[in-house]
Amino acid sequence: MNNYLFLKYLGNISSRYICIFFAVVTFLFFSKSFAAENLFTINDVSVNGEIDLNFSREKYINKAFLDSFEILMNKILLSSDLKKVKNIKPKEIKNFIQSFQILEEKYSKGEYSAIFRIFYNDKKVKKFLGEKNISFSEPRYISAVFFPVFFINKEIQNFNENFFYKN
């Protein structure tokens, strides 16, 4: 009887550890969002135009693609290299796009307006730029904190002892 209770106790403890182990493994491997991995993202691309008899939503989506590609290239390339990618075809730009979202879309008073978020596949963009021998920088969002420093007679004054702060 004692052996049975002891084995049952061990079974309960081991099942808890197994659950904890699987939970940890799940969080470690699946905590990263795979949707945003390896992508250049251009937010808030706005397009506007008139609605007429030849209105085509696809025309405005293509315009958003062209505008976003220009924004992306301005972010990652030197201004001297921009002319090398100036005459790229819209079909080639569409090949670089992983996906896109229409954040806002309006049809009012004969006008169409939309705001897009466009996700570029960074591997395809990097390969394209590499084939054209164009170096680039990857955009990163950083945060910085600046502390004001005041020098008087080659001495650093604290912020609260600073003349400008006091007055």
Q: Is residue 93 part of a domain?
A: yes
Identify the bridge partners of residue 106 per DSSP, sorted by sequence position.
113
Residue 26 is part of which domain span? 1-31
Asked whether residue 84 falls in the same domain as residue 4, the answer is no
pLDDT tens string, the chain, 167 residues long: the values are: 556 655 566 566 655 666 566 566 566 665 554 444 445 888 999 999 888 888 888 999 999 999 999 999 888 888 888 888 888 888 999 999 999 999 999 998 889 999 999 999 988 998 998 888 888 877 666 677 766 666 777 777 666 666 666 77
71-99 burial, b for 16+ CB within 10 Å, e for fewer? bbbeebbeeebeeebeebeeeebeebbbe
Q: For the chain, how many structural domains are there in total?
A: 2
Asked whether residue 79 falls in the same domain as residue 10, the answer is no
Asked whether residue 25 falls in the same domain as residue 47, the answer is no
Asked whether residue 47 falls in the same domain as residue 90, the answer is yes
| pTM (predicted TM-score) | 0.61
Are the beta carbons of 117 and 42 closer than 8 angstroms?
yes
